[in-house]
A = this chain, B = another copy of it.
Amino acid sequence: MKVVIVGGVAGGATAAARLRRVDENAEIILFERGEYISFANCGLPYYIGGTIEDRDELLLQTPESFNERFGVDVRVLNEVVSIDKEGKKVSVQDHKSGKTYDESYDVLVLSPGSTPLRPPIPGIDGKNIFSLWNIPDTDAIKAFVNEHDLESATVIGGGFIGLEMAENLHDLGLKVNIAEMAPQVMMPIDFEMAQIVHGHLKKKGVQLHLNNGVKEFVQNGDGTEVVLSDGTRIPSDLVILSIGIKPNGELAKAAGLEVNERGGIVVDENLKTSDENIYALGDAADVVDFINGGKTMIPLAGPANKQGRIVADNIAGASKRYKGSQGTSVAKVFDLTVSSTGTNEKTLQRLGKVYGKDYHVVHALPNSHAGYYPGAQTIWIKLLFAADGKVLGAQAVGTEGVEKRIDVIATAIRFGASVYDLTELELAYAPPYSSAKDPVNMVGFVAENILDGLMDPIRVEEIPDVDLEKSVFLDVRTEYEHKRGTIPGSLHIPVDELRERVGELDSSKEIVIFCAVGVRGHVASRILGQKGFKTRNLMGGFSLYRQYHLPV
């Protein structure tokens, strides 16, 4: 059997290595149009910033080492330019010799990846404007940084790579701006969670320009002025573009394989394309969205690696299913960890789902570990779940134990968990690691309270709409906390005095209760609710309220 693989980074290399392990006799040819295979694409920003010191660390395999280990014929700088699916052969351009040749296959695997977008913005070809996607990009940026005395950088786009680059350029001592067309950075999380990230970036001295795309790049001496849509001009010694990516589906489309509207390659559950002899995987494969059963494309290394293994097994005769991607991700953003899994609220709303009817939300701010053990940090968690309790997604931001909780919820989602299941999870507890009620249990408890009617939540986004003719804000925190800032116009009765002072409240009004994070607010809402008051409890409390309204 002769297997030809197009693309030698995450998914393609995994498929080749696994195929060799299950079939010592297959002929395996791996084509890569670039010079490098199996490089550490997620590590590139950290090499530029100096956290990873040795460039060789980025090269996990060389063509030679991969061939020695796995007996795979690796051909770098060889680009597959067309597929003859009837003739079962590909046409290959050898960028070293300039020659083109054909290579036949029994099975073809497409792992073409994706390419950073470079929209036709005036001036985008300026000499200090870079994308970061592969080793040559990295070398170019590193050389530029080393050879020039840079003072400022502007990152266009606040996605994973954009924020990682912002951090690494900041680490190099540069003054960093980020321009983002959307109202927030880090699109996998929702706006109120992104506000925590915005605040952190601001604290680190990064200047954020939200709702502000690039209109133009103007060369200005050795630098570039980045001109934003609102007219702001940012003088920049270096510009990093990380606007987005597009799947490399052209080859598949030109060959007559079925592709989706974004050019992604359509595959079945075995990851086979519309052609019997061709598989596809990775960034460019149109796979099942594990949460809603629709289709999605997830440009992440984890899914690509899993798909590579499944494709190899299926080529060797198995019939393994790829059951879908749920978009679990994490990024380090300076001191923060930002992680999420499943669907977010923006997506639910785009799909026409209605908050309070089709889905619910929990905000909680538990400690990363027992509060009495030194170093405990707040984890900001948002949980999304359906009216029947099914967990739809989760987002978490903080400095410790953040992605651990997302991993736990991601695992639960994989088994179709409900919020009731989250309350029952038996997770590892000792004071340095967690609390007896783990943060994941805690969000489950809050969700359960909502579904069981024990808590009527109100969200920070709803606060401005509260009608003070019909409602009253009640701050149940301590005197000390209350004096340091509160929601304007709120009454103040500490929760521990509430039973005695209940007479001070107007029972004809809805009581909108808040504390610091929502825990004491819940106790207060239970006291008042059982005394006949209509109550709502502010999820995330004054902490999330203040963060949400933070101007950035």
Contact = CB atoms under 8 A, between A and B. Distances in A.
Interface of A: 10, 20-25, 40, 42-43, 46, 51-52, 57-58, 60, 65, 68-71, 160, 290, 300-306, 309, 323, 325-332, 337, 339, 341, 370, 372-374, 401, 403-404, 406-408, 410-412, 414-415, 417, 421, 423-434, 436-438, 441, 445, 454, 495-496, 499, 522-523, 526-527, 530-531
A172 to B, nearest CB: 16
A61 to B, nearest CB: 12
A46 B415 CA distance: 38
30 contacts: A21-B523, A23-B530, A25-B530, A40-B370, A40-B372, A46-B431, A52-B372, A52-B373, A301-B436, A302-B429, A302-B436, A302-B438, A304-B436, A306-B424, A306-B437, A323-B424, A325-B426, A326-B426, A328-B429, A329-B428, A329-B429, A330-B434, A331-B430, A401-B404, A404-B404, A404-B407, A408-B411, A411-B425, A411-B427, A415-B421
A424 B320 CA distance: 11
Nearest to A401: B404
A423 B370 contact: no
Contact of A417 (B306, B415, B427): B415
A68 B309 contact: no
Contact of A526 (B22, B337, B431): B22
A189 to B, nearest CB: 13
A49 to B, nearest CB: 12
A142 B329 CA distance: 45
Contacts of A403: 404, 428, 433-434
Contacts of A430: 42, 160, 329-332
A376 to B, nearest CB: 11
A403 B431 CA distance: 12
Contact of A428 (B23, B406, B426): B406
A405 to B, nearest CB: 9
A94 to B, nearest CB: 26
A435 to B, nearest CB: 9
Contacts of A526: 20-22, 24
Contacts of A330: 428-430, 433-434
A441 B52 CA distance: 25
Contacts of A306: 423-424, 426, 437, 441
A426 B303 contact: yes
A58 B523 contact: no
Contacts of A372: 40, 43, 52, 57-58, 60
Nearest to A58: B372
**Most B CB within 10 A of own CB, among A25, A65, A527:** A527
**Nearest 4 Cβ contacts at the A-B interface:** A24-B530, A415-B415, A330-B428, A301-B436
B425 A410 contact: yes
Given A415-B415, A530-B24, A410 B428 contact: yes
Contacts of A68: 496
Contacts of A429: 42, 300-302, 328-330
